[in-house]
């Protein structure tokens, strides 16, 4: 498996993975991936490829808060889960943060709903530590924040 930066050729397949996971509206998923990142909050995408097939993606915002990058989207295609793709995407995210963040910011960030046991386990196994819970943040559901110490 390879982790690469998203290119135009990956957009439709990446949007399909996102659609089936979160959006249930392919056009909205495409628009979200294609959305021009603002100067203030650039959104970057990494995709996981098996051969030419997009099997997962991770989107992150640079300088989300206090120079720390933040994972805003993470999804692995059904049928390809539990094969190490989520782990590989998070690992690459951490590598990018080491290059992109100033040394004065020691953490990069991620989060997930407190009910998402798979994602919580994945983050823990990948070396992310729980940093706190924001009550009701995710459409009324509590959101658990993680930090990885670079």
Ligand X SMILES: CC(C)(COP(=O)(O)OP(=O)(O)OC[C@H]1O[C@@H](n2cnc3c(N)ncnc32)[C@H](O)[C@@H]1OP(=O)(O)O)[C@@H](O)C(=O)NCCC(=O)NCCS
Binding test (CB under 6 A) with ligand X, winner from 50, 81, 91, 92: 81
**How many residues make contact with ligand X (CB under 6 A)?**
19
Q: What is the DSSP string of 71-82?
A: EEEEEE-TTSTT
Region of 28-36, 80-88, 100-108, 133-141 interacting with ligand X (CB under 6 A): 80-88
Per-residue x/- marks for ligand X, 28-57, CB under 6 A?
------------------------------
Question: Are 122 and 109 a contacting pair, CB within 8 Å?
Answer: no
CA angle 63, 138, 73 (to 5 degrees): 50
User: In terms of CB distance, is 23 or 67 closer to ligand X?
Assistant: 23
Residue holding tokens 């390809």? 80
- Dist CA 148 CA 150 (whole Å): 6
Q: Which of 14, 75, 109, 144 binds ligand X (CB under 6 A)?
A: 75
């Amino acid at each position: 498996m390879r982790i690469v930066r998203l290119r135009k050729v990956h957009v439709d397949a990446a949007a399909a993975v996102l659609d089936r996971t979160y959006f249930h509206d392919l056009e909205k998923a495409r628009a979200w991936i294609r959305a021009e990142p603002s100067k203030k909050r650039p959104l970057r995408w990494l995709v996981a490829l098996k051969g030419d097939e997009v099997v997962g993606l991770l989107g992150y915002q640079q300088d989300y808060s206090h120079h720390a990058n933040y994972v805003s989207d993470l999804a692995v295609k059904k049928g390809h889960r539990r094969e190490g793709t989520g782990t590989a995407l998070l690992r690459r995210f951490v590598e990018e943060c080491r290059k992109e963040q100033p040394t004065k910011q020691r953490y990069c960030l991620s989060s997930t709903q407190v009910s998402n046991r798979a994602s919580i386990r994945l983050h823990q196994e990948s070396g992310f530590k729980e940093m706190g819970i924001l009550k009701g943040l995710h459409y009324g559901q509590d959101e658990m924040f993680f930090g990885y110490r670079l």
